[in-house]
Amino acid sequence: MAKFGKSILYLAAAILLSLPVVSCHSTKHNTHSYRPYHERRNRDKAPHDNAPGSSKDDINRPIPGGNGLVSEEWARLDIKLGRKDNKKLYKELRRWLGTPYAHARHTCGEGTDCSGMVMEVYQTVYDINLHRNSAKMLEVNCRIIDLDDLREGDLVFFCTSSSGRVSHVGIYLKENKFVHASSSRGVVVDDLRQNYWATHFYAAARVSTGH
């Protein structure tokens, strides 16, 4: 009986050790627990019983993927801007749209990677120098904020590789849209609710002007 009990304990320990641990960190000094965007965004808020079309199943419904969440107007940044929108930011980002992806480059219209584009845009629009590396950009230049506090010009970071490190960054605009340099499509507008970005989302952050 004792041997049987030990066998059960060994089996339980083996199962626990085999479970995957999902985490992501920018550096060993600045860690942050990883949870997909669609599990973090407003998941603690239950839908109102009398809200149109609301049900208990809505919260578990898959979020649409692909480019279907980005309209033609958004894809071209040809959208109506309000008084509070930073027109200089939109104008600069519109210049970068369509720039092909190129590792370790940051030239508008010719080639850029994600952090290179963000670095150049911030220098032009805000006169702020950011770190060239996305993980360092988060650690050195930013402070993490809540998703619901995202506002125009904030940065959004993602874990897109198996290294367990922040490896991608984009510039948030509004209505869940952000601009980034995709390795396959170049500089484009995407939606944070798209399955890929929702799954690989790491943190929302605001640039600290003191750096």
Stretch 9-26: mean pLDDT: 45
Residue 123 is predicted with a pLDDT of 98
Phi/psi at 105 (5° precision): -120, 165
What span, in angstroms and rounded, lies between the C-alpha atoms of 49 and 83?
35
28-81 pLDDT tens trace: 334 344 455 545 554 444 333 333 333 444 333 444 555 679 999 999 999 999
**Residue with more model confidence, 41 or 166:** 166
Quote the pLDDT of residue 210: 63
Q: Which of 15-19, 44-48, 87-91 has the highest mean pLDDT?
A: 87-91
Q: pLDDT tens-digit profile of 106-165?
A: 999 999 999 999 999 999 999 999 999 999 999 999 999 999 999 999 999 999 988 879
Name the more confident of 18 and 39.
Answer: 39
Q: Name the more confident of 30 and 180.
A: 180
Polymer length of the chain = 211
Q: Is the pLDDT of residue 92 over 90?
A: yes
Give the residue numbers annotated as catalytic, written as ranges.
Answer: 114, 168, 180
Average pLDDT of the residues in 88-98 = 98
> Distance between alpha carbon 44 and the CA centroid of its chain, in Å?
20
What does the pLDDT read at residue 13?
53
Enter the CATH code of domain 24-43+69-207.
3.90.1720.10
What are the structure tokens assigned to 114, written together? 């994600």
Please give the model's pTM, rounded to 2 decimal places: 0.74
Longest dimension (CA), the chain: 76
Residue 181 to residue 184: CA distance in whole angstroms: 9
Give DSSP secondary structure letters for 133-157: SHHHIIIIIEEEE-GGG--TT-EEE
Residue 114's nearest CA partner among 81, 148, 87, 138 is 138
